[in-house]
Structure 1
Amino acid sequence: MMYIKKARLSIISMPLKKPFSTHLGVVKNREAIIVELIDQDGVAGFGETVAFSSPWYTEETVKTAFHIQKDFLLPKLMEQPVEHPRDLTNVFSFIRRNEMAKSGVETALWDLYSKRMGKPLSESLGGTRNEVLAGAVVATQSINEALRQIEQFSTSGYERIKIKISPENDIEFLKAIRKVFPDVPLMVDANSAYTLQDIEHLRTLDEFNLIMIEQPLRVTDIVEHAKLQKQLQTPICLDESITSVHDVKSAIQLGSCQVVNIKVGRVGGLQNAKQIHDLCVENEIAVWCGGMIEFGISKAHSIAIASLPGFSIPGDLSSSNHYWEEDIIEPLIEMKNGKIVVPNGPGLGFSLNLKRMKEITLYKEEFV
């Protein structure tokens, strides 16, 4: 049994090296919550809560997640010991949704559990890969800047480029990109910028040889995506619409997509992410690991889940220096030749850079 004797929540903030711009807004600084769980033997596990400062991606924010973790999740976990991290799905079932808050605690417990077992987190999850495929995201409203970034990322070896689009810029951007980079593996992310009234417009994207179009319609929709997928040659990938295993079951039954983006934070943790992976593999739905402009702890969890055999498409997995001047983990994550090595040390295989954490921590609280 794992008895959590102490827990820490640290709100951190760090500026991005360059702004991350979509039609929904611009992110210049990133906040997150680092969760530390310490058991009866003094073993510590780390998780990261990837909610944003404002509710532009999901309804959760750093403040709401901190509240849920402090007042509900941590007290429940500290009074109810568990044998395995998968047990938290039931332990936390008394709280509806709040998946990012749950994931921050659940992922920390997975790290703790794997350290207690003396094996890598990837192995605990059933991972089989020694390396994971890395992809980069271009999020800018400038075509020239997009072309510059694509050149940089392609030269660096990233296996896939993702472009943020909207009805106002999609055709112009894609024509310019394909003129310069006709063969680069390319996908687009709409973040729900379209409606079914845009079907004819979206059909024109088929000519650009895209790997997929991610979340073109409403964030909660599954039904209309099924109608749209029947009209497009380009595979639809669901992102925001998938917050649970049940969502995936519904999407498969309706034919809403050919691809699912699995983000650990968005689906409530590693256990749900693993179940979604297994379900998609069983039903021949492609999966890849999405990113949340996250720090090194969350990215390390993503690397572990992306080591599962079904993750055949390069994910939003990048080097530590992609977003940050200095990340919060040691050693830093490095991408080489389009791949990132899966750590083979116990747990995450990374440790916190305490000096860097001290520099960027806005607030922290300890619970015993």
Structure 2
Amino acid sequence: MTVTLAEIELALVRLDLVHSFETSSHRKTYLEHIIVRATAEDGSVGWGECASPSDPYYCGESTSSCWQVLGEYLAPMLLGRPWEHPEDAARLTAKVSGNHFARAGLDMACWDLYGQSRGKSLADLLGAEADAVPAGVSLGIEPTIDALLAQVSRHVADGYRRIKLKIRPGWDLEPVRAVQDAYPGVALQVDANTAYRPEQEAVFAELDGRGLLMIEQPYDASDLLSHARLAARLDTPVCLDESITTPDVLRTALHLGAADVVNIKVSRLGGLGPSQTVHDLCLDAGVPVWCGGMHEFGIGRAANLALAGLPGFTLPSDVSGSDKYYRRDIVTPPIRAVDGMVAVPRSRPGIGLDVNLEQVRRNTTRTWTIRPHGHHTTSEEKSA
């Protein structure tokens, strides 16, 4: 059964965060993600989410760059061209280099349509074995230690199985000690988001004796050799996130011994297909993986959960309940954590839950509709 797209609509949707979130590079109080609505010739609709950062700090992409690449390149390449499987759709846009976050939003919509055409959820299509996955939370850098402990207290009380602390030079040893002193039984890991240089290794040597689950992405994404040297010197596992952009990069990292653990993000890898490949490679290599997040709205969060149900995901994910971030999400039913577990959506074919179109439109600030027209495409972009 083939699918041919007749129209792709992009909507820039803004949701305020329940609590502001700071990493080693910036602080944010709201998020804007691009929602992709792909309509097939038979009238069926597939939903995707481009959960790119607003600014090019985490990676080279931003909301603005993804908007442009989706509207001017990826969407026109796919419209009016039949495909049978999402991997076939991905090959139709293969001549666009990189732009993984932009690509992931469209890829997700294709997987949603593919699941609907087969009457299966994403979880079933990918081979997810779990019906629910353990969830942790990622906590940003707070103004004070007391403010951080208040956040930890709230999430431990909610039953989350693991706490991840964002760190940067000057905010590392003290917050770790404070959280471990206050909550000695909590599973704890840290995430540097590339904020350190190899000559600052002494910080990680001090953290090494603290019993952390892992130290995530201490150095620059391209510096696999320094990560390999650090991994060889520490007992604490070194996890790679920003570094793992393709399955080929993963193969290099594994060969060098640079990754004891891998954080798999659908957005960073450009879609569900390459994410599943990375999972399979790690499973074969005996390297544990977990599912990271980009503060996705419900569409992207549902795709993450479908992936996190695969057998190699043995560590708690960052795919916590959406109510941790947003007062009202754009999907129905809302994604919730119960006793630290989040259900894998399977209530309908495709992404496994329904999109609240009214909530999407209410929070949309900009739209762009792209349609095929003969051998060309027409587009209409406007502010909401």
TM category (shorter chain) comes to over 0.9
Give the drift of 1:48. 0.3
- Partners of 1:199 and 1:231 within 8 A in 2: no
**1:178: which partner in 2?**
180
* Residue 311 (1) aligns with residue 321 (2): no
**2:251: which partner in 1?**
249
Could you say what secondary structure the match of 1:249 adopts? helix
Runs of 4+ in 1 over 4 A off after TM superposition: none
5 Å-filtered alignment, 1:73-222, equals: 73-141=74-142, 142-222=144-224
5 Å-filtered alignment, 1:251-270, equals: 251-270=253-272
Give the drift of 1:90. 2.2
Q: Scaled by the length of structure 1, what TM-score is found?
A: 0.98
**1:57: which partner in 2?**
58
Amino acid at match of 2:174: E
Using the alignment, how far apart are the partners of 2:327 and 2:202 within structure 1? 43
* Residue 281 (1) aligns with residue 283 (2): yes
Give the drift of 1:60. 0.8
Deviations 1:170-190 (A, max 9, x none): 111111111111120000000
**1:347: which partner in 2?**
350
- Partners of 2:141 and 2:167 within 8 A in 1: no
Using the alignment, how far apart are the partners of 1:73 and 1:193 within structure 2? 32
Could you say what secondary structure the match of 2:318 adopts? coil
Give the drift of 1:367. 1.9
Higher deviation after alignment, 345-354 or 280-289:
345-354
Deviations 1:114-157 (A, max 9, x none): 01111111111111111111111111322112111111111111
- Partners of 1:161 and 1:185 within 8 A in 2: yes
Using the alignment, how far apart are the partners of 1:205 and 1:11 within structure 2? 40
Amino acid at match of 2:364: T
Deviations 1:200-219 (A, max 9, x none): 22111012110000000002
- Partners of 2:89 and 2:110 within 8 A in 1: no
Unaligned runs of 5+ in 2: 372-384
Amino acid at match of 2:171: N
Using the alignment, how far apart are the partners of 2:281 and 2:88 within structure 1? 19
Amino acid at match of 1:149: Q
Using the alignment, how far apart are the partners of 2:239 and 2:16 within structure 1? 29
Give the drift of 1:88. 3.1
- Partners of 2:6 and 2:80 within 8 A in 1: no
- Partners of 1:243 and 1:267 within 8 A in 2: yes
Deviations 1:52-79 (A, max 9, x none): 2211111111111111111111111114
* Residue 39 (1) aligns with residue 34 (2): no
Instruction: State the identity %.
Output: 38
* Residue 357 (1) aligns with residue 360 (2): yes
- Partners of 1:6 and 1:366 within 8 A in 2: yes
**2:378: which partner in 1?**
none
Using the alignment, how far apart are the partners of 2:81 and 2:7 within structure 1? 13
- Partners of 2:8 and 2:39 within 8 A in 1: yes
* Residue 336 (1) aligns with residue 332 (2): no
Amino acid at match of 1:165: I
Could you say what secondary structure the match of 1:223 adopts? helix
**2:322: which partner in 1?**
320
Residue correspondences, number: 368
Using the alignment, how far apart are the partners of 2:152 and 2:177 within structure 1? 14
**1:69: which partner in 2?**
70
Give the drift of 1:259. 0.4
Give the drift of 1:87. 1.7
Unaligned runs of 5+ in 1: none
Higher deviation after alignment, 85-94 or 197-206:
85-94
- Partners of 1:12 and 1:360 within 8 A in 2: yes
Could you say what secondary structure the match of 1:265 adopts? helix
Higher deviation after alignment, 233-242 or 84-93:
84-93
Deviations 1:15-60 (A, max 9, x none): 1111101221101121110001111211111100011221111111
Higher deviation after alignment, 297-306 or 144-153:
144-153
Using the alignment, how far apart are the partners of 2:220 and 2:59 within structure 1? 12
Amino acid at match of 2:95: F
Amino acid at match of 1:348: I
Deviations 1:243-281 (A, max 9, x none): 100110000000001100000000000000000000000
Q: Scaled by the length of structure 2, what TM-score is found?
A: 0.94
**2:380: which partner in 1?**
none
**1:297: which partner in 2?**
299
Using the alignment, how far apart are the partners of 2:13 and 2:90 within structure 1? 27
- Partners of 1:321 and 1:327 within 8 A in 2: yes
Could you say what secondary structure the match of 1:217 adopts? coil
